[in-house]
Structure 1
Amino acid sequence: MAGKKIFQIVGFQNSGKTTLMKKLIEACKDKGLAVGTIKHHGHGGPPERLVINKDSEQHRLAGAKITAVEGAGTLHIEAIKDQWELENIIEIYRRLPIDIILVEGYKKMNYPKVVLLRNVQDEFLLEELTNITAVISREPLRSDRLSVPFFETVETEDFVQWFIKKINED
């Protein structure tokens, strides 16, 4: 994670990504780190304008200095073009006064990531995704061949502590 640190939180809808993002933002803020967040709006169509209950607004309320959400070619830091790739957004963020970029979504990108699993049916993600540094699951895993740290949903605070230690090491 040379330069600005980039870390992804990925999983399917309702897996707890936004809740975890808020905890990580708050933990980073407590450590004096300025956080920028990028949210992938994967529900079809452009994202709604900022609304208090939307994920990117929750990121801001948790303490993120910069937030963005992208969907269907619309990027809120409001800038519109045919399509925004994550790399384009990160290039903008690299110029901003932040220490870490937390990305919610963009499962297929190759940044260090934690995968959130809702159930054992989601375990196929562990075979499909790259650069997995940790896994959080609501249920015990079927596989015992996991080569990264595993946290149960109830251990989220343990994961946050692990995460803060990891970003300080890199």
Structure 2
Amino acid sequence: MAAAVYQITGYKNTGKTTLMCRLIDYLSSRNRKVATIKHDGHQFEAEPAGVDTARHRASGAVWSAITSGERTAIVKEKSSSLEELIAEAPHDAFVLVEGFKMESYPKLVIVRREEDERLLAELSGVTAVVTWPGYRLQDNCIPAGAVLIEINDIDRIGDHIEQVGKEAVLRN
């Protein structure tokens, strides 16, 4: 199991990927190794058509890898659960997960619009609610025990997820 796992959740176009990148920068600046896992609700193509590994899979390979002096990429022709992906992540890395809303790991929910607030009642494990500047949450919608943070307060968000991650590792 990785050192810590924390989810960044929210609906489409709420700023999940931008926040993930800012948190990767923040954690890396604190000498933390960071691994990321992203859920894509659509079928995606990781490689352009015609590259060698794509041609291998088009010919029937169910697993293909490519490596160079600096990087390795592995493509499998199967879906993977979040648990499987976490198990493959470096064991000393803080794993940031984008999406996978229904998984039970600690998570923050980004709220940009009123319709985003319904996630707060639907999801488990919410430890933080992150809002856009000027957005005011409806009364009593923050889950018990969760903190409210503005999306541009990266230090506070980063400190929060680091602390939650440490507590989760100590419990396991």
CA contact (8 A) 1:39 1:103 kept: yes
CA contact (8 A) 1:33 1:100 kept: yes
1:115 to 88, 109, 120: 109
Q: Is the 8 A contact 2:2 2:91 kept in 1?
A: no
Structure 1 stretches lacking a partner, 5+ long: 52-65, 67-75
Pairwise mapping of residues 91-110 of structure 1 onto structure 2 (< 5 A)?
A: 91-93=87-89, 96=90, 98-110=92-104
- The structure number with the bigger radius of gyration is 2
Q: Distance in 2 between matches of 1:7 and 1:28?
A: 12
Q: How many angstroms apart in 2 are the aligned matches of 1:21 and 1:103?
A: 8
**Compared CA separation, residues 155 and 39, structure 1 to 2 (3 A):** same
- Report what 1:161 is aligned to: 159
Secondary structure, in 3 states, of the residue corresponding to 2:153? helix
Could you say which residue in structure 1 is the equivalent of 2:45? 48
Give the superposition deviation at 1:162: 2.9
Does residue 1:80 correspond to 2:77, yes or no? yes
Rate the CA distance shift 1:154–1:4 in 2: closer, same or farther, 3 A.
Answer: closer
Aligned to 1:7: 6
* Highest RCO, 1 vs 2 (Cα 8 Å, sep ≥ 6): 2
Report the identity percentage: 33
- CA deviation digits over 1:100-132, x for unaligned, max 9? 111000000000000011211111101100000
Q: TM-score of the superposition, structure 2-length normalised?
A: 0.72
For the 8 Å contact 1:23–1:160, the answer to whether it is kept is no
Unaligned residue ranges in structure 2 (runs of 5+): 49-70
Contact 2:4 2:166 in 1 (8 A): no
In structure 2, the partner of 1:143 is 139
- Structure 2 counterpart SS, 1:116: strand
Aligned pairs (5 A) from 1:26-65: 26-42=25-41, 44-45=42-43, 47-49=44-46
Q: CA deviation at 1:155?
A: 3.2
Aligned length: 142
Distance in 2 separating the partners of 1:38 and 1:12: 17
Superposition CA RMSD, Å: 2.5
Question: What is the CA–CA distance in structure 2 between the aligned matches of 1:50 and 1:158, rounded to whole Å?
Answer: 36
Q: Which amino acid aligns with 1:161?
A: D
Q: Distance in 1 between matches of 2:86 and 2:162?
A: 21
**What CA deviation, in whole Å up to 9, does each residue of 1:54-76 have, x standing for no partner?**
xxxxxxxxxxxx9xxxxxxxxx7
Instruction: State the 4+ residue runs in structure 1 displaced beyond 6 angstroms.
Output: none
